[in-house]
Amino acid sequence: MAFKIATWNINSVRLRMPLVLRYLQSHGPDVLCLQETKCRDGEFPSGDLRAAGYEHLAINGQKGYHGVAIASRHPLTRIDKREFCAKGDARHIAATVSVGGRDVAIHNFYVPAGGDIADPELNPKFAHKLSFLDEMTALISDEKWAETPSVLVGDLNIAPLETDVWNHKALLKVVSHTPVEVERLRRVFEAGPWVDALRTQVPPEQNLYTWWSYRSPNWETANKGRRLDHVWLSADLKSSLTDLDILKEARGWERPSDHVPVMISLTP
C-alpha cells in the first residue's frame, strides 16, 4: 500500500477550501503540505480538514501573507517550526509521520519569491531569498536532516533546470530562474544526500511545470509554466518512490491557485 505525500501552494486556503476538499477526495494523499495559506492559525479551516479525515494538523500561519501547514490522516509527531532570516515569517513547518513503520520527517517550505529585480544590492527581497536559501543550507548541514529518512517539499520559488521553464533563455534574467539563485538552491540540495523526486520520474530532457502565472491568459495553450514546486527525498527513500502525480488540470479548476498539486507515492 503506497503512502502518498502531496504539496500544493494554495494561495489562500480559506478561499480555496472547496478545491482542497475536492483534491483530497479524488486523490486521497496521506499527507498534504500547503503553502501560502494566508491566515492566522485560529482562522485555519481545521474543522473542514478534520471532517474530511485529516485529523492531524500542523499549522504555522500569519495574517494575510505566507503561511504553511501539514494535514495528515496519520498522527504527526515532533512538530517543529523554524524561523528564517529573523523576520517572523511563517515559511516552514516540519512533522514526523510513520510510513510503513518507519519514521519519516517532512519539511514543508515556502521560499521567498524574491521580487522583480535579480540583484541583491538593489532589491532587498532578492537578498532575502538568497539569505533564506543559505540558512536552509546551514540548517540541513548542521542538523544532518537527511541522516534520518526525510522529505523536503514546498514552493521553493526556483526553477533550476532549463526544462523547468517554458523558455530558458528568456527567463535567465527573470527571478526564479537566474543563475545566482539556481546556484544557491544547488547548495541547499547538496547539503544533504537529496534526490529530486520529480526528476527521477520525469527525465530532465522533458519540460515539467507546476505553476502557470495568473497574468498569462490562455495559460493552457500558451503553457508558459515553471517548475517552482519540489519534492526532495533523502537517498534512503529513493527506492521507495513508486509514483508521481502532477495534477495539471487543477490549474483549470474554478478560481484556481496558480500552482497545482504535486504528489509522490512511497511504497515501503
Partner DNA sequence: ATGGTTGCTTGGCAA
Site for DNA, rule CB under 7 A:
11-12, 14-15, 38-39, 63-66, 112-115, 125, 157, 214-215, 217, 255
Residue 65 or 166 having the CB closest to DNA:
65
CA atoms within 13 A on the CB side of 255: 10
Residue 114 or 149 having the CB closest to DNA:
114
**Consecutive H or E run containing 109:** strand 102-110
* Smallest distance from DNA to CB 9, Å: 8
Query: If you count them, how many residues does the chain have?
Result: 268
DSSP assignment, residue 200?
A: H
- If DSSP codes are grouped into helix, strand and coil, which group holds residue 87? coil
Residue 157 or 210 having the CB closest to DNA:
157
Buried b (16+ CB within 10 A) or exposed e, 251-267: beeeebbbbbbbbbbbe
Residue 14 or 248 having the CB closest to DNA:
14
* Smallest distance from DNA to CB 12, Å: 3
Residue 104 or 136 having the CB closest to DNA:
136
Parallel, antiparallel or unpaired: strands 150-155 and 194-196? unpaired
* Smallest distance from DNA to CB 241, Å: 28
* Smallest distance from DNA to CB 255, Å: 5
* Smallest distance from DNA to CB 168, Å: 16
The total of other beta-carbon atoms located within 10 Å of residue 173's CB is 11
* Smallest distance from DNA to CB 190, Å: 26
DSSP assignment, residue 198?
A: H
User: CA dist 114 to 117, 118, 128, 156, 250, Å?
Assistant: 8, 8, 7, 11, 25
Residue 56 or 91 having the CB closest to DNA:
91
